[in-house]
């Protein structure tokens, strides 16, 4: 069965995946843009937007792994855009970066939106397991990448449905915002640290769900 993977989800040193006061002008909240300093300079990130420059090395390798063997994506409604506006088609313009089916958890039903480049946004109103089932079917044997935000990842963690979770811990403090691990007892749910690596801009930690008896 395909895996459900989180890649490159960045949290602050004090555990927040976004700052306070999220809005159209500040989708990551106050101070939240700093979380992704490790990512936005990489060659992988630059190539998404048609540029050839960018840094190589461990940060870039981690960013690139997030696209390996991915056949579909899941995201929360707030990541797509927390508005009940049927004209809203996301933050990414007419050709989003995903180039695959994207399943959005929401309470607001909408018809699928076909975008350029192979991205189609599907809106799922019947919960996280239904979204995962549909994403796995669309992925056709490849893995499903869970994008976030923090509240969405928490739901899948509580249900122990995530197989692999790569976090980038940024060396900043946000003080408040959207916490990732609030109310989560990861070891009891079966998660353990598989690897960790520090770079100048982030500490990369990979958690995996262990099989019983391992």
124: pLDDT confidence band, cut at 50, 70 and 90?
Answer: very high
In a domain, 137, yes or no: yes
CATH label of the domain that carries residue 165: 3.40.430.10
DSSP 140-197: TTSEEEE---HHHHHHHHHTT--SEEEEEEES---SSS-BSSTT--TTTTTEEEEEEE
pLDDT at 190 over 80: yes
Q: Tokens 């855009």, residue? A: 81
Confidence of residue 30 (pLDDT cuts 50, 70, 90): confident
Q: What is the pLDDT of residue 176?
A: 94
Helix, strand or coil for residue 76? strand
Domains: count for the chain: 1
Q: Would you say residue 56 lies in a domain?
A: yes
Task: Evaluate whether residue 214 is within a structural domain.
Answer: no
Longest dimension (CA), the chain: 50
Q: What is the pTM of this model?
A: 0.93
The pLDDT, as a whole number, for residue 21 is 78
CA-based nearest residue to 4, from 70, 67, 59, 64: 70
State residue 170's pLDDT score. Answer: 97
Averaged pLDDT, 60-64? 97
Q: Is residue 113 part of a domain?
A: yes
Domain residues for 71?
4-209
First and final C-alpha spacing in the chain:
19
């Amino acid at each position: 069965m395909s895996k459900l993977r989180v890649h490159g989800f960045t949290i602050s040193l004090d555990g927040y995946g976004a700052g306070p006061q999220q809005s159209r002008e500040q989708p990551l909240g106050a101070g939240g843009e700093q979380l992704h300093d490790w990512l936005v300079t990489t060659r992988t990130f630059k190539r998404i937007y048609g540029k050839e420059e960018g840094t190589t090395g461990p940060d870039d390798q981690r960013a690139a792994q997030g696209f390996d063997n991915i056949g579909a994506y899941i995201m929360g409604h707030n990541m797509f855009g927390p508005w009940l506006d049927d004209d809203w088609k996301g933050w990414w313009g007419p050709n989003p970066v995903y180039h695959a089916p994207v399943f959005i958890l929401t309470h607001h039903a909408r018809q699928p939106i076909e975008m350029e480049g192979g991205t189609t946004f599907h809106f799922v109103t019947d919960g996280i397991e239904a979204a995962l089932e549909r994403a796995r079917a669309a992925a056709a044997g490849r893995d499903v990448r869970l994008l976030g935000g923090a509240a969405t990842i928490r739901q899948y963690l509580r249900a122990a449905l995530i197989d692999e979770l790569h976090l980038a811990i940024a060396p900043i403090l946000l003080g408040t915002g959207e916490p990732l691990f609030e109310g989560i007892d990861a070891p009891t749910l079966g998660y353990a640290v598989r690897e960790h690596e520090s770079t100048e801009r982030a500490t990369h930690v990979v958690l995996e769900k262990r099989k019983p008896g391992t």
